[in-house]
Amino acid sequence: MCFAGLYEFWPDPEMPEDDPERWLLTCTVLTTTTQDTLGHVHDRPPVIIPKHPSVDWLHPDLTDKADVQHLMESLPEPTLTPRIVTTRVNSTGQQRPELMTRLGAVRRAR
């Protein structure tokens, strides 16, 4: 799954021009309004880029605002399936496949 985002290198105006640490990298994830049943989770989900147009999204010549807007408007609505999972997914130290198991399915299996 890919999220749409933007990044930029820019010079810190408070640092000397010859300082190599002057350049900062900033980034953001683009969000949109909710179009599907996940609206109850959050009203500003990330823009999800399907596998096939990700090459267009990453093209270095894509800098014109109108072209970017057209690309964003042409993205299909994502189809996501909400799942209730254990709160252990909130820990970066947890990397086990069973964390993706639907909590309801685990309860029924017991």
Q: At 109, is the secondary structure helix, strand, or coil?
A: helix
In angstroms, how far apart are the furthest CA atoms of the chain? 64
Tokens 């021009």, located at residue: 17
Tokens 């749409």, located at residue: 4
Q: Is the pLDDT of residue 53 over 70?
A: no
Mean pLDDT of 67-71: 87
For 21-46, how does the pLDDT look when each residue is reduced to its tens digit (9 = 90+)?
999 999 999 888 876 666 777 778 88
pLDDT above 90: percentage of residues in the chain? 20
Mean pLDDT of 45-64: 81
Residue 101 is given by DSSP the state S
pTM, entire model: 0.62
Stretch among 10-19, 54-63, 96-105 having the lowest mean pLDDT: 96-105
Read off the pLDDT band of 50 (50, 70, 90). Answer: confident
